[in-house]
Amino acid sequence: MDSQKKALLNYCIALGDDSLTLGHRLSEWCRNGPFLEEDLALTNVSLDFIGRARMLYSYAAEVEDQGRGEDDIAYLRDCREYRNFLINELPNGDFAFTMARQLMIDAFDVGFYKGLTQSADEMLAAIAAKAIKESRYHLRRSEDWIKRLGDGTDESHERTQKAFDQLWGYAAEMFEMASDEQQLVDAGIAVDRSALKAEWSSTMHSVLKEATLDIPAQDWAIGGGREGIHTEHLGYLLAELQYLQRTYPGQQW
C-alpha cells in the first residue's frame, strides 16, 4: 500500500473513531435523559454519529481492500489502535458536561465537515455533505442548551462553567495535525485542521458570552488520541462496545 493510501486509511479510521466513541457515549443517555423529549433528541444525535462511523469505516475497509469490513474495524481493535480525540471518549458526566463537550465538538465539526465537502476524494466529500447537515443541527441544539444552562439557575451556571473548565484543554488536539495528515491536505483530500481554530474560538466566545460563562484559561492541553494514546476511560468504553463480538466472534443479527 503506498503512503498516501495508508494515510487515507488512517484518516478514515480516525474520523470514524471520533464518531463511534462519541456516538457510543451519547447512546448511554438512552432512557437516562432528563426528560422524554431530550432523551429522544440525544439518541437521534447518537445515531447520527454512529451512522457517520459506519460510512467512514466502510470506506476505510474499501480503501484497505484486505477483506476487513466495518464491523472488524469497530469491534476488533484495542485502545492503542483507536485514533479518536480524547474528548470523545470521556464519560458523560452530568448533563451540563455532556452538552459542553457537545458544543465544543459540534462547533469543530461544522467547520471541519464544511471543509471536507470540498475534498478531492469523492467518497469523503459525499460523507461530509451528509454530515454537515447533521452537525449544523447538532450545533443549533448544543448552542441552545449552553445558553439555557449558563444563563439559567445558579446551579446550572456553576455546573456548566465547571464542565468547560474541565474540558477546555481537550480542545487543543482537534487543531493539531497527525503525522501523516499533511500529505492528504497537500493532495486536496483532507482538511487543514490547524486553520479551523480561529472560527472555532470565535463561535465558542460568542456562545459562552451569551451564556454568561467565562472562557476558561488556556493553561493546559492534553492530546495523543490520533497517536493511539488514550485516557483510562476508552478501555471501559470498548469493553462494553466490543463485548458481544469478543465473546461470540463473528456473531451476526
Partner 1 sequence: MNQHSLPLFEVFIRSKRGLDHRHVGSLHAEDPAQALDYARDVYLRRSEGVSVWVVRSSDITASQESDMASFCDPMDDKPYRHATHFKLPKEVDNM
Residues of this chain that interact with partner 1 (CB under 8 A) are 34-38, 40-41, 44, 137, 140-141, 144, 148
Q: Could you tell me the three cell numbers for 9?
A: 486509511
Query: What DSSP letter does each residue of 63-74 carry, written as one string?
Result: HH-SS--HHHHH
Please name which of 233, 112, 131, 215 lies closest in space to residue 167, comparing C-alpha atoms.
Answer: 215
Give Cβ neighbours of residue 180 (< 8 Å, ≥ 6 apart): 3, 6, 7, 10
Question: Which grid cell sits at 121?
Answer: 476524494
In whole angstroms, the minimum distance from the beta carbon of 148 to partner 1 comes to 7
CB of 167 to partner 1, least distance (A): 21
Residue 202, number of CB atoms within 10 A of its CB: 11
Nearest to 20 by CA among 68, 85, 69: 85
CB of 139 to partner 1, least distance (A): 12
Instruction: Return the number of the residue (133 or 205) whose C-beta is nearest partner 1.
Output: 133
Q: Where are the alpha helices (DSSP H) in the chain?
A: 3-27, 36-64, 70-75, 86-89, 95-116, 122-150, 154-167, 182-186, 197-210, 233-247
Our CB check for partner 1 shows the closer of 89 and 143 to be 143
Distance CA 49, CA 137 (A): 13
Tell me how far, at minimum, the Cβ of 141 lies from partner 1, in Å.
6
Min separation Cβ 67 and partner 1, Å: 35
Nearer CB in complex with partner 1: 38/72: 38
Q: In this complex, which beta carbon is closest to partner 1, that of residue 28 or of residue 62? A: 28
Q: Which is nearer to partner 1, 33 or 228 (CB)?
A: 33
Q: Which is nearer to partner 1, 37 or 219 (CB)?
A: 37
CB of 35 to partner 1, least distance (A): 4
